[in-house]
Structure 1
């Protein structure tokens, strides 16, 4: 019987059979046919501490017996309140309010609406332009596709997307082109640019592209000088992925608006939050009901998800999570160094717990024909690695062992010979 399921980012004509996973624990997935797979990409970058961490399981179980769901308009509950307070303490200084949603895409949509709503209610209605970074990816809703790289991800939907201004990715040695382009746009459109949105330090779906913290610091400085809202999309980069709790910390900056999801619940349940400065709340605060912030989802601040997310923040407070992140950062550096000078790999890079390299092939980019071959090769060797075209990245849970990483990188090093590259 053909399955009724339509899977995301999957070409069913080329991949008709899905891997059926029965259970998970730590860094491992277990299939119904008895295989163990190392989850080396944290199941799409969400699992931080490892699958089914007991503290997160207990939090979900306990909250599920108390309050499962309640409308968040006109109501509140303890898990949301406790989580909100914890997030403000953990986040960069100056972020005062927390708005909940249910995914990274919606967290970014909320941020964009906050920024535009702010300028509208402040009377600066000409500030409508959004500046983005080349190769960026912020989600798959209409707004987030609009502020992401135009191309294969969103070409069929081009008529729905709004125009944005683009600054170049800060390639090594060309960082000044990024900042100079941003300054030029501000000079050409005085009083029109509402916000800049970037993925701090690492562009995920764009190919795990990495840039220096100094660039992030310079972009924030320019935003401050021109009163432009600085939005940090930390959906993937947050919760230790880049080596610090949030990537912005490495630049010594605090964004005006910060988006978080994925690792917010340790990868246990869907939840997102958009953190912002008080001024964005104040701009919408009025006896005039037409000035309220018009955004919600039915499951905004779901109590079970909030309880699990709070348990995640407690893990960061009570367990040596940062030490695990630091150890994995060192281990990734050791592993990726083995490929230095390898004739079939290039562009070795690492940021915190994330390591990536490119396979040398003629057809590069997301639709490179090597991607499905590599994916199947890794599956055959008990590894969940999902290349971004010819880019192979390793982004595992912090519980992965050195032995598993040794095996993983050994399999990766043999890929060109086995696949005849």
Structure 2
């Protein structure tokens, strides 16, 4: 019989990995707070919040209690023709956080599916409004929206996965990434702030575009870039002028990660459709939501066929709804703004020395996000192996070494994270 490690290597596929020469993995036996405990007893800080979702840390007692109680009553029931208390309770709590106008909630399985649903909403709404030719979508370069088929076509066309799937992916429309960094002075000249490219595109092809989708302020897996919120305000105006719907993908940025409850609040912009996920359940299980305005919902509901053509089997799963409602209760307690602000301050000071390293191209921090961008790609297997020694789990990609720690991370724990990042950055000269 194969050992557990050998079985894993022989039969279990891991994200973005091959099966002939699978990379090394750490076998986690337990997780609590910010700590992962491996099978051999080694402990590591989860500096990634397990791909950005465990905002409250692992196995938070309030989330465990909510899920345990729900598990004993109603783990799952289909949402077609039925409803239940956890879905209603979560809906009320979500609407209390969201700006006025975003009030029609579609629960989905994952962030990528939430994006697919948003695209369907936009297309159906445009057709219902008498624009059957608006079947394409526009976005900015440098973005990432998930690995499902249509979402994948809207990820960056150069750094994303477009090239690996060739003509099988329907071509979408891209403008350059927002050029002005978060915190820099905003130039009013559209040629300099990036909005001229959007205006030119809309002027030529607005009758083909159903919606424009992008991540507000923070471009996540596409490059961890932070751009000026004023870009969103200008984009909102241009979308309104040309009848194009605006979709904001807050799957990675929502629920406090950038220092605001939602990143769109930095710009005071309200989209027509909003995608949420990742930290929605506090990292307890996969869940997401796509939220539309009344205008979008009414257009879909009064057009043909009069219904939104999507319905996941596990839509509004009661267990996930209970976890999400408990997670929103933790956010409502109001500790997270101070926690995120403290993390931002410490990251800014602790990672500043990396700027002097010759192998470092840039260092940037926003909220509970810290990024060291190298001049050359990182040796990911080397970084991965260092986790056991350092006691910090980091998962870099390309030239980016970054952390998105849980909000409950203490100053001492954060110091261990930043010390490890500086060590790794120092290797790559």
TM-score by length of 2: 0.92
> What is aligned with 2:175?
167
Which segments of 5 or more consecutive residues in structure 1 lack a partner in the other structure?
362-367
Shift of residue 411 of structure 1? Answer: 2.3
Contact 2:56 2:408 in 1 (8 A): yes
> What is aligned with 1:36?
43
**Alignment RMSD:** 1.9
> What is aligned with 1:256?
272
2-side partners of 1:203 and 1:320: how far apart?
A: 26
Contact 1:50 1:399 in 2 (8 A): yes
Is 1:107 aligned with 2:108?
no
Is 1:193 aligned with 2:202?
no
Count of residues in correspondence between the two structures: 413
Shift of residue 284 of structure 1? Answer: 2.5
Which of residues 225, 233, 238 in structure 1 aligns to 2:249?
233
SS at match of 1:338: helix
2-side partners of 1:14 and 1:185: how far apart?
A: 44
Which of residues 346, 354, 360 in structure 2 aligns to 1:331?
346
> What is aligned with 1:364?
none
Shift of residue 232 of structure 1? Answer: 0.3
SS at match of 2:106: strand
Compared with structure 1, are the counterparts of its residues 299 and 190 closer, same or farther at alpha carbon in structure 2 (3 Å cutoff)?
closer
After superposition, give the CA deviation of every residue in 1:353-395 in whole Å (9 maximum; x if it has no partner). 111011233xxxxxx3623322322343221111111210111
After superposition, give the CA deviation of every residue in 1:61-85 in whole Å (9 maximum; x if it has no partner). 0001111111101111000011111
Which of residues 292, 298, 303 in structure 2 aligns to 1:282?
298
> What is aligned with 2:258?
242
2-side partners of 1:108 and 1:149: how far apart?
A: 15
Is 1:373 aligned with 2:382?
yes
Shift of residue 12 of structure 1? Answer: 4.5
SS at match of 2:37: strand
Is 1:411 aligned with 2:420?
yes
2-side partners of 1:205 and 1:331: how far apart?
A: 23
Shift of residue 213 of structure 1? Answer: 0.9
Most deviating of 199-208 and 155-164: 155-164
2-side partners of 1:253 and 1:267: how far apart?
A: 27
Compared with structure 1, are the counterparts of its residues 128 and 35 closer, same or farther at alpha carbon in structure 2 (3 Å cutoff)?
same
Most deviating of 338-347 and 41-50: 338-347
1-side partners of 2:206 and 2:115: how far apart?
A: 25
Contact 1:111 1:259 in 2 (8 A): yes
Most deviating of 256-265 and 13-22: 13-22
After superposition, give the CA deviation of every residue in 1:301-347 in whole Å (9 maximum; x if it has no partner). 00010011011111111242222122222222222223232323221
Is 1:293 aligned with 2:308?
yes
Runs ≥4 in structure 1, deviation > 6 angstroms?
Answer: none
Aligned pairs for 1:27-66 (under 5 A) are 27-66=34-73
After superposition, give the CA deviation of every residue in 1:134-160 in whole Å (9 maximum; x if it has no partner). 011100111101111124534332333
Compared with structure 1, are the counterparts of its residues 244 and 416 closer, same or farther at alpha carbon in structure 2 (3 Å cutoff)?
closer
TM-score by length of 1: 0.93
Contact 1:239 1:246 in 2 (8 A): yes
Most deviating of 61-70 and 7-16: 7-16
Is 1:204 aligned with 2:220?
yes
> What is aligned with 2:161?
153
> What is aligned with 2:184?
none
